[in-house]
């Protein structure tokens, strides 16, 4: 198996079909395939071999994709990097992976040059200075095995060192095939792509899925809500993928549009990378008529579960059912299966599960039990609905207060059911009496006000007292990473600072 080879085979079936539209330019599948081959030959001339790591830090552009698939085609390993990473972060990734080549722009290089100058063996290739294609391309050999590493994707690193998830060609191919079956993807689809390419959501799900299907991808460098609504309608798009933050901004923009767009060709609005609130789920459906399909995945496993393709079988707060080839267990702290309705840690097994953490054998061993990967996510299944899966948070976010387990997502759902609350985040802080106390950060809607006392009373009317926040902190917005996921480690730091009187957080 070689992922790039599969894309090349797709290109050969419909060479004149439009593959990508970006920044006013169009590439057919023939164009795309030729560009990947040219870039692969450039890597070959630079001495890049099978197994070498090639780090790519580029802004969102079609060249990113050319490089990515060229790297895979020669059996090297691709390291997609966020263009916003700071110099010290870049040094860590290049050093940890022992990268042979760093592909970037002159602008980015100027920012990191002094930080990486000690990496004497590292070659640098600038996007602006690509080697010209040779007159006759060298045929690609696609010299990889099923379990050869295709990518190293670094986790967000909320605690400790960032870990590089080593993802094989088999992992990527089996996962995208399962998604194609689940989402009924075809060459007739037109995907509007607004996600970052350095992230697995934008690269391994959206872009890869589109190219594997032989579909057309309209790619925007940045997300602009009005532009998205107008394009979905005018370009007959059928697919859109976003994160909850994107959907919230689309909801906010909808009421400002006159006339309101009619994306009549749309099949699927898909959400992932962070939990979609039931408020967003229902509001989006109420104003547009479309019910968002939520799925569940992570860097180390790709996609694990998805709601059904038929809208009536999608439910708010649920991530659906395991994809084909994916097995799910829910276990307690001792690794024993919990009762079907109980909350526990989700374990995953299947050909989609990564090979391990790059250069961290101990972390890899800790993360597996007899082939089952410990996701760190907490969830439960509904036996009255085909064991439908629900997520309730992260195991490391579990709050133990007075000996009771508290799952932040449950409280966040209650908080966000209040008419004044736009979004919330619940964390635990050290407490001498209870071990940990429950606190909540709340962002309010612009037009509605409330008080901490009112919100706590709202919570107490729906939950047992030990689950309710002891303190409320009002914030203008919650800290998020590039994919819109709330960074609770940063939030905890900010709240702790606020308790010392040095933060915009209001301690009530």
Domain-by-domain residue ranges, the chain? 28-144, 178-395, 398-507
CB 352 within 8 A of CB 302: yes
178-395: same fold as 28-144?
yes
For 122, the 3-state DSSP assignment is: coil
378 forms beta bridges with 345, 393
Cβ neighbours of 12 (radius 10 Å): 11
CB 429 within 8 A of CB 495: yes
Cβ neighbours of 88 (radius 10 Å): 9
Backbone angles phi, psi at 151, to 5 degrees: -145, 150
Give 372's DSSP letter. Answer: E
Which pLDDT score is estimated for 134?
Answer: 67
77 forms beta bridges with 53
CB 144 within 8 A of CB 75: yes
Which pLDDT score is estimated for 505?
Answer: 45
Which pLDDT score is estimated for 245?
Answer: 83
Closest CA to 68 of 59, 79, 60: 79
Type and span of the H or E element at 199:
none
Rounded to two decimals, what is the model's pTM?
0.85
Which pLDDT score is estimated for 503?
Answer: 46
Which pLDDT score is estimated for 143?
Answer: 83
- Under CATH, to which class is 178-395 assigned? alpha beta
Which pLDDT score is estimated for 432?
Answer: 73
Question: What averages of pLDDT result for each successive group of 10 residues across the chain (508 residues)?
Answer: 94 97 97 94 94 97 97 97 88 96 96 94 93 70 90 72 93 98 98 95 97 98 96 97 91 90 94 87 95 96 97 95 98 94 96 97 96 96 96 84 80 92 92 84 91 94 88 92 83 83 46
- Under CATH, to which class is 28-144 assigned? alpha beta
- CA–CA distance, 79 with 439 (Å, rounded to integer): 38
| Relative orientation angle of helices 452-460 and 408-415, to the nearest 10 degrees | 120
Half-sphere exposure of 270 (CA within 13 A, CB side): 34
Residue with tokens 């009924």: 184
Sign of CA dihedral 235, 239, 241, 247: positive
CATH of 398-507, one of 3.40.50.1360, 3.65.10.10, 3.30.300.30, 3.20.20.80: 3.30.300.30
């Amino acid at each position: 198996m070689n992922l790039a080879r599969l894309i090349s085979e797709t290109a050969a079936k419909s060479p004149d079909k439009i593959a990508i539209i970006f920044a006013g330019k169009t590439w057919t599948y023939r164009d795309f395939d030729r560009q990947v081959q040219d870039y692969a030959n450039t890597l070959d001339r630079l001495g890049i071999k099978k197994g070498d790591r090639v780090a790519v830090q580029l802004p969102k552009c079609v060249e990113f994709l050319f490089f990515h698939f060229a790297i895979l085609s020669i059996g090297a390993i691709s390291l997609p990097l966020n263009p916003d990473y700071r110099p010290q972060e870049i040094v860590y990734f290049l050093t940890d992976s022992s990268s042979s080549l760093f592909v970037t722009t002159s602008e980015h290089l100027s920012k990191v040059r002094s930080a990486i100058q000690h990496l004497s063996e590292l070659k640098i290739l600038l996007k602006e200075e690509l080697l010209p294609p040779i007159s006759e391309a060298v045929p690609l050999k696609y010299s990889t095995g099923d379990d050869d590493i295709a990518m190293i994707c670094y986790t967000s690193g909320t605690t400790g060192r960032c870990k590089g998830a080593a993802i094989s060609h088999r992992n990527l191919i089996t996962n995208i095939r399962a998604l194609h079956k689940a989402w009924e993807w075809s060459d007739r689809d037109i995907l509007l792509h607004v996600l970052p390419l350095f992230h697995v959501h934008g690269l391994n799900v959206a872009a890869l899925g589109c190219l594997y299907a032989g579909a057309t991808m309209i790619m925007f460098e940045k997300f602009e809500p009005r532009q998205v609504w107008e394009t979905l309608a005018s370009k007959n798009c059928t697919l859109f993928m976003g994160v909850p933050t994107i959907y919230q901004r689309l909801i906010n923009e909808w009421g400002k549009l006159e006339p309101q767009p009619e994306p009549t060709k749309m099949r699927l609005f898909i959400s992932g990378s962070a939990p979609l609130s039931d408020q967003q789920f229902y509001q989006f459906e109420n104003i547009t008529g479309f019910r968002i399909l939520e799925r569940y995945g992570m860097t180390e496993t790709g996609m694990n579960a998805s709601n059904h393709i038929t809208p009536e079988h999608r439910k708010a707060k649920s991530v659906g059912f395991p994809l084909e080839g994916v097995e799910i267990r829910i276990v307690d702290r001792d690794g024993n299966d919990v009762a079907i309705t109980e909350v526990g840690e989700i374990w995953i097994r299947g050909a989609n599960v990564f090979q391990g953490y790059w250069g961290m054998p101990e972390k890899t061993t800790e993360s597996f039990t007899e082939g089952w990967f410990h996701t760190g996510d907490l969830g439960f299944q509904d036996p009255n609905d085909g064991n439908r899966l629900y997520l309730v948070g992260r195991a490391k976010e579990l709050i133990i207060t007075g000996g009771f387990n508290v799952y932040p997502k449950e409280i966040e759902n209650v908080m966000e059911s209040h008419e004044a609350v736009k979004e919330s985040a619940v964390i635990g802080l050290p407490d001498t009496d209870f071990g940990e106390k429950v606190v909540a950060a709340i962002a309010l809607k612009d037009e509605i006000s409330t008080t901490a006392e009112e919100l706590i009373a709202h919570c107490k009317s729906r939950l047992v007292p030990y689950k309710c926040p002891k303190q409320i902190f009002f914030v203008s917005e919650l800290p998020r990473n590039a994919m819109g996921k709330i960074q609770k480690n940063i939030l905890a730091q900010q709240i702790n600072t606020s308790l010392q009187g040095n933060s915009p957080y209001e301690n009530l």
